[in-house]
Amino acid sequence: MNTPNKITVIRMFIAPLFLVIYLLNYEHKMLVSAIIFAVGAVTDAIDGRLARKNNIVTNFGKFLDPIADKMLVTAGFLALMDDGLCNIWIVMFMLTREFAVTSVRLIAAAQGVVIPANIGGKIKTVFQMVSLVAIMIIGEVSTMFELNLPLAIISNVLLGITAFISVVSGLVYILDSRKVIDFKS
């Protein structure tokens, strides 16, 4: 297994670690969780760059990297849901998009075609990860300085925008996939 793929696997372990750390009730949980989540998010950038730079992009990595991303982001949504900071419909839209895109990838794989993430999917992932970290940081700052910010509203607005970007990028991905795979077979 090459280094980028190892980093991807590490991200898969960071996702449940993040969720466990977040779900424990202790002072500064938002800050600690944001740091762990951010480390996981940074591994996403590192593994992709290393793979492209060293010309070691593999089908294993093309499949595993998006799964690791989904694990980390889903852990973030679940954590925020637990604190009432993420509306269930946002998660439903996000998961529906992910299942639809993954289904297209599986159809493509069955036909011997590997469809990597497109720029829309990468923008979606970056926006999801940045939004989740930002929400946790805002939550920590609000608590530390007793600002009483409407964190649920801020969170749901940010995640609502993220859900919209996710759905649009998923639709583009599915429409583009029609060019390379046969949906009739």
- pLDDT tens digits along 85-97: 999 999 999 999 9
CA angle 162–163–167, rounded 5-degree value: 120
Q: What's the confidence (pLDDT) of residue 135?
A: 98
Task: Please check whether residue 120 is in contact with residue 169, taking contact to mean a CB–CB distance below 8 angstroms.
Answer: yes
CA–CA distance, 181 with 88 (Å, rounded to integer) = 33
The average confidence (pLDDT) of the chain is 93
Q: Which helix (H) or strand (E) holds 6?
A: helix 3-23
Question: Is the entire prediction scored with pTM above 0.85?
Answer: yes
pLDDT at 126: 94
User: How far apart are alpha carbons 80 and 19 in whole angstroms?
Assistant: 10
Confidence (pLDDT) at 105: 87
Domain spans, the chain: 3-177
Interatomic CA distance for residues 141 and 1, integer angstroms: 41
Tell me the per-residue pLDDT of 116-164, one tens digit each, with 9 for 90 and over.
778 998 899 999 999 999 999 999 999 999 999 999 999 999 999 999 9
Q: How far is CA 68 from CA 43, 107, 147, 149, in A?
A: 10, 20, 35, 32
Supply the pLDDT for residue 68. Answer: 94
CATH architecture assigned to 3-177: Up-down Bundle (1.20)
